[in-house]
Chain A
Amino acid sequence: ETGVTQSPTHLIKTRGQQVTLRCSSQSGHNTVSWYQQALGQGPQFIFQYYREEENGRGNFPPRFSGLQFPNYSSELNVNALELDDSALYLCASSSKLAGGTDTQYFGPGTRLTVL
């Protein structure tokens, strides 16, 4: 286990509704990234938060928004849900180092179904 937890594990919503997904990062990690993984696809980068600020965003519309809290936990909010938003939402935490790369640790994901 990576120490990254996500809640809830499963969620069913209807079109037009709003959803909030939560992620607790691994102890000592100050960076959280969110990914969307549709069935049979690789994860698609949504955005990253570093020290409570958005630090990069993928090709997702503004109805996808996020927050990072002082304890480095994070939320992903999706407004006006569409059927295509049905996917596994993954959170990954890491620790930004000066230069070089950092290892991302993924949580188990939240499976969102939009009906």
Chain B
Amino acid sequence: AQSVAQPEDQVNVAEGNPLTVKCTYSVSGNPYLFWYVQYPNRGLQFLLKYITGDNLVKGSYGFEAEFNKSQTSFHLKKPSALVSDSALYFCAVRDLNYGGATNKLIFGTGTLLAVQP
């Protein structure tokens, strides 16, 4: 079964420092990977996705993610954190159980990013 794991419930970083939010995946076949962000009392917003191609994917708000097939990871990164980046971040993988005909996403448990001024 497809799954993603976010090993950290919370990540704390000082404003201006680089940040990393970790995600590892388990899929049978080529993974389709996504990152979403959720601000308080809001729905999830799409940040970026990896389907194929370059391992470094650039997304919204200065975020990027690196696909690493050997480590089955898709960590989210940003060179310089902002206080406004504080939110809940979700990694997701597309479920391939229907032979590629589905767009169902399986989400991780989320990582709360706290950026201190």
Do A and B make up one complex? no
User: Measuring CB to CB, which residues of chain B are less than 8 angstroms from any residue of chain A?
Assistant: none
User: Measuring CB to CB, which residues of chain A are less than 8 angstroms from any residue of chain B?
Assistant: none
